[in-house]
Chain A
Amino acid sequence: MAGKSGAEGGAGIDPMHQFEVHPIIELPSIAGIDTSFTNSSLWMVLAVGLASLFMIFASRRTAIVPGRMQLMGEMAYSFIANMIKENVGTEGMKYFPFIFSLFMFILFCNMLGMLPYSFTVTSHLIVTFALAATVFLLITGVGFARHGIGFLKLFVPSGIPVFLLPLLVLIEVISYLTRPVSLSVRLFGNMMAGHTMLKIFGGFVVGLGSAGLVPLAIAPFALMVAFTGLELLIAGLQAYVFTILTCIYLNEAIHMDH
């Protein structure tokens, strides 16, 4: 609604417009997959490039007494390493590079999405679902690799009357299979909702301002500033949530303690 009123003001503000994917460089399809370099691809490459540059620069010095950059890199490292050690244990450190990359990728995509005129990679369900599905497949693979067919015991709760078992096993299987969905929708929903809201308030500010009602535009502007702070928090928090849920699922697959 607000978007439409903003669009009448000539600014062309459609809160969903920011999520549109459009090609920058058209590339041929390979095996039926469109490989065009889009704005989404651009921001993915930027996120990965910045994350890599940051971490490479942060790990360039290996002094015993760290400098500022080195300390930031080590803090990022210890943050994820401690998360894995606390939630999974030392066996989980085998998957540390994957989980660290996952965290950095989501964090940088979320944070770059906060820049004006940028594109938020993680506001697309297909991207978050691909990440969540990767996590799901990896963890299921780890579970079967470690416990063999015994991994299926994960779906059989202990201390339950036999006549209830079929129902509970069904529930357990469904809850296990919906994990990638909940994991991906949580991240996608947070990112999309936040950016849509920011855009709507931005539309208010521009609409009221261009209609000559500048004093009235102060309220949505103040709200927008506050929400921008909140969105920054959410951008970090959702990266954290995605990562820690990955750790919790991994712990279950490794230790099978339900």
Chain B
Amino acid sequence: MPQLDPSTFGTQLFWLGICFVALYLVMAFAVLPRIAGTLHARAAQLDDDLAEAEALREKAETALAAYEEALAEARSRALTLAQNMRAEVQAETDRQKAELDAKLAEQAQAAEAAMSKARDEAMLGLSDAAAAIVGDVMDAIGTAKADDAAVAKAVKTVAAE
């Protein structure tokens, strides 16, 4: 086995030392700091971008809240307006209806009064006529001199029955 030949150990160790130290120096001072810097810069950039996105999101949320508030206010105002309008219309209708009712009631009353007056008049005329007829009949029979006042009274009594 060539691996167990001690005469090659010296050169292998010597060159291993040189090569490994050279690699270590290149990595430690030229390569790794640069990569670390890049990774660090990228992480910082990502954090910045994320923070910015978060800020923008918050702004958008604020805007949305303001919009929703305005919308709710407008809606409630519209609702109030509609309610007021409805109440006004209702009041106007009620007022007109009441007016009409009053007018109609008045007219009905007047008509009723006129009617009862006409009936009273008619009734009065009727008993007069009956009294006259009764007087005429008694005259014609000729039994007794008709007393106008008594006849009228008797007719009235009969009519009342």
The residue in chain A whose Cβ has the minimal distance to the Cβ of B44 is A64
A 25-42 binary contact with B (CB < 8 Å = 1; else 0): 000011011111110110
B19 touches A45 (CB 8 A): yes
Interface residues of B (CB under 8 A from A): 1-5, 7-17, 19-20, 22-24, 26-28, 30-32, 34-39, 41-42, 45
Say whether chain A's binding surface is mostly helix, strand, loop, or mixed. Answer: helix
Residues of B within 8 A of A74 (CB): 35, 38-39
Among B7, B24, B37, the residue within 8 A (CB) of A62 is B37
- Flag the segment in A52-60, A198-206, A244-252 that touches B: A52-60
Tally of A interface residues using CB under 8 Å = 53
**B38 and A70: CB pair below 8 A?**
yes
B14 touches A101 (CB 8 A): no
Closest 8 CB pairs of A and B: A97-B28, A41-B15, A34-B10, A21-B8, A59-B34, A55-B31, A44-B19, A33-B10
Chain A minimum-CB-distance residue to B20:
A105
Cβ contact within 8 Å between B1 and A16: yes
Report which residue of B2, B4, B7, B11 has the largest number of chain A beta carbons within 10 angstroms of its beta carbon.
Answer: B11
Asked whether, in the complex, the Cβ of B34 is within 8 Å of the Cβ of A34, the reply is: no
**Given A40-B11, A101-B27, A124–B45 Cβ distance below 8 Å?**
no
A23 at the interface (CB under 8 A from B): yes
Contact A33–B23 (Cβ < 8 Å): no
**With A20-B2, A96-B32, A126-B9 known to touch, is A56 a contact of B45 (CB < 8 Å)?**
no
* B26: contacting residue among A29, A56, A127, CB under 8 A: A56
Chain B residue, CB-CB nearest to A40? B12
